[in-house]
Amino acid sequence: MPPEQPASPSSHLFPGSGLDAAVVPTFTAEPGMMPATVLPEHELAPELAHQLVHDELMLDGNARLNLATFVTTWMEPHAAALMAQTADKNMIDKDEYPRTAELERRCSRMLADLWHAPDPLTAPGCSTAGSSEACMLAGLAFKRRWSARVGPSSGRRPNIVMGADVQVCWDKFANYFEVEPRVVPMRGDRFHLDAEQALARVDEDTIGVVAVLGSTFDGSYEPVADICAALDDLAAGGGPDVPVHVDGASGAMVAPFLDEELVWDFRLPRVASINTSGHKYGLVYPGLGWVAWRDTAALPEDLIYRVNYLGDELATFTLNFSRPGAHVAAQYYQFLRLGRDGYTRVQQHCRDVATRLATQLGALGPFRLLTRGDELPVFAATLDPAITHYSVFDVSAGLREHGWQVPAYTFPAERTDLAVLRFVIRNGFTHSLADQLLADLRRVLARLDRQHGPLHDASDSSFSHTGAPSPR
């Protein structure tokens, strides 16, 4: 007997969809089960396949109510349509898609200008699959410059200095590229790297210092200018001349618009490279990152591959190869659509919502604010020590029952005693939504006040998604 094939659709399986239960073949040994381990034997009608996948994805959380992620969850319909129209363009094919390559080059120059590169037209830069790749490229440039200085057969081991608040991609970089990570732990109320701690760990084999403009743990800026000044003094006194990379995954698309007086970028001669996430406060759907170097001297020539297209030569330096050009097209759309005024308006709105929400959260009574959303539009809060009958993990679980995703997690080594809730405010999150969040939070707290002790803690498997900062 021939295998069952999709029949002509009717309307019995999904009312209004025109799909019939009879068109569903047996996927696995159990009729009606969605395939999970074995490729189905037969085709499905596209409408049915779409409906089945769509229905399964309805069980995901609502991305707009996700205050855990830094990643963009809303774009204008025009931008989303542009991404759909360009999803089939491969960024690596410069010959076939020269205009996509040109849009990447324009975006790179705009960012170099935004970050005050000495000559934005010649400053090297590129798009990446996200800030993780961008950070690894910057770290690799650091290592190659150090290797050229000490010699390939020196037998010495390079190291990189960073705070415990860095994103996990820097641990990956150190592991994958065989660099010793010198991590400054959190102590007391110091939650990120400072100049004194950075200087204490630098030596002749330090390839660079990583300063974070916007910690994923609490939204605070690290003191980039102070760190650079300390390293300037060290070099002037005969010590090692160590470059700085600014991991501006979020802050590099916030500070230029809201904190113009803050000097953190290429205005500091010691800053060799900067990265940002186009898919965070660059306002593009995931995954897109950017990295820029202050000048050609900061990026070793032997790391660059050159591609010729239409009689022009394009420099490329990436770890990934094929990826869609849609994100670059969307980034250029956002730059064109918003300009400086638009980005300032969007980021200021996010900060206004964050600071207002933080103030109102602090006024509720049970919480102690660590930050207030006045740097990144992100803030963290812990419970007052007097609150012992519930935990931040209980609060997170209670909010999830109302559809909100607010992460609860402990801080890194030497401050694992500190458990917090973190609120990330992004484009599309309004004052009205913040008010609804507060209303639901009050309901959760009223219920938790009747508990006799915490029901959830950091070891609870249901909180495995909240145990680390947002992915890149």
User: Tens of pLDDT along 269-301?
Assistant: 999 999 999 999 999 999 999 999 999 999 999
The 3-state secondary structure of 287-303 reads CCEEEEECCHHHCCHHH
| Per-residue pLDDT, 322 | 82
Structure pTM? Answer: 0.88
pLDDT tens per residue, range 370-387? 999 999 999 999 999 999
Q: How far apart are CA 452 and CA 458, in angstroms?
A: 18
DSSP H or E run through 195: helix 195-200
According to DSSP, residue 2 is labeled P
Q: How far apart are CA 194 and CA 230, in angstroms?
A: 10
Runs of H (alpha helix) within 237-380: 255-258, 326-362
Q: How far apart are CA 333 and CA 187, in angstroms?
A: 43
With beta carbons less than 8 A apart as the criterion, state whether 47 and 13 touch: no
Residue 341 has pLDDT above 60, yes or no: yes
Q: Would you say residue 343 lies in a domain?
A: no
Is residue 187 exposed (0-12), middle (13-18) or buried (19+ Cβ within 10 Å)? exposed
With beta carbons less than 8 A apart as the criterion, state whether 381 and 420 touch: yes
Which CATH number goes with the domain that contains 302?
A: 3.40.640.10
Q: How far apart are CA 132 and CA 68, in angstroms?
A: 18
Residue 92: pLDDT band by 50, 70, 90 thresholds? Answer: confident
Domain count, the chain: 3
| Per-residue pLDDT, 312 | 61
CB count in 10 Å sphere of residue 357: 25
Q: How far apart are CA 254 and CA 216, in angstroms?
A: 14
46 and 108 part of one domain: no
Residue 461 has pLDDT above 60, yes or no: no
Q: How far apart are CA 370 and CA 391, in angstroms?
A: 16
Q: Would you say residue 210 lies in a domain?
A: yes
Give the residue from 15, 33, 60 where a domain finishes: 60
The β-bridge partners of 388 are: none
141 and 45 part of one domain: no
Q: Would you say residue 66 lies in a domain?
A: no
Q: Would you say residue 71 lies in a domain?
A: no
Residue 84 has pLDDT above 70, yes or no: yes
395 and 432 part of one domain: yes
395 and 317 part of one domain: no
Give the residue from 277, 309, 334 where a domain finishes: 334
pLDDT mean over 52-73: 88
Could you tell me how many residues make up the chain?
472
Q: How far apart are CA 227 and CA 247, in angstroms?
A: 14
pLDDT more than 90, % of the chain = 74
Runs of H (alpha helix) within 34-185: 46-57, 77-86, 98-114, 131-150, 168-176
Q: How far apart are CA 458 and CA 67, in angstroms?
A: 19
**Which residues in 62-91 are b (16+ Cβ under 10 Å) and which e?**
eeebbbbbbbbbebeeebeebbeebeebeb
Q: How far apart are CA 205 and CA 125, in angstroms?
A: 26
Query: Which token pair is 204?
Result: 């002749």
Q: How far apart are CA 118 and CA 77, in angstroms?
A: 36
127 and 217 part of one domain: yes
Q: Would you say residue 471 lies in a domain?
A: no
Give the residue from 300, 334, 368 where a domain finishes: 334
44 and 139 part of one domain: no
268 and 397 part of one domain: no
> Which is nearest to 94 in space by CA: 277, 313, 247?
313
According to DSSP, residue 41 is labeled S
Q: Which residue has the higher pLDDT, 113 or 48?
A: 113
Q: How far apart are CA 352 and CA 357, in angstroms?
A: 8
Query: Which token pair is 36?
Result: 């999970």
With beta carbons less than 8 A apart as the criterion, state whether 397 and 461 touch: no
pLDDT more than 70, % of the chain = 89
Which residue in this structure is represented by tokens 């994958």? 176
311 and 399 part of one domain: no
Query: What are the C-alpha distances in Å from 284 to residues 163, 278, 324, 358, 421?
Result: 28, 6, 13, 26, 25
86 and 189 part of one domain: yes
CB count in 10 Å sphere of residue 342: 15
Q: Would you say residue 278 lies in a domain?
A: yes
290 and 381 part of one domain: no
Q: Would you say residue 341 lies in a domain?
A: no
Question: Which of 41-45, 217-221, 253-257 shows the lowest per-residue confidence on average (mean pLDDT)?
Answer: 41-45
> Which is nearest to 452 in space by CA: 385, 388, 386?
388
DSSP sequence for 424-471:
E--TT--HHHHHHHHHHHHHHHHHHTT-SS-S--TT-GGGGGGSSPPP
Which residue in this structure is represented by tokens 């964050």? 354
372 and 436 part of one domain: yes
| Per-residue pLDDT, 311 | 57
Runs of H (alpha helix) within 31-76: 46-57
Which CATH number goes with the domain that contains 390?
A: 3.90.1150.160
Residue 141 has pLDDT above 70, yes or no: yes
Question: Which of 39-48, 119-128, 176-185 shows the lowest per-residue confidence on average (mean pLDDT)?
Answer: 39-48
In this structure, which amino acid lies at residue 364? L
Rg, Å, the chain Cα set: 25
Range of the domain at 8: 1-60
How much is the mean pLDDT over the chain? 89
Q: Would you say residue 70 lies in a domain?
A: no
247 and 383 part of one domain: no
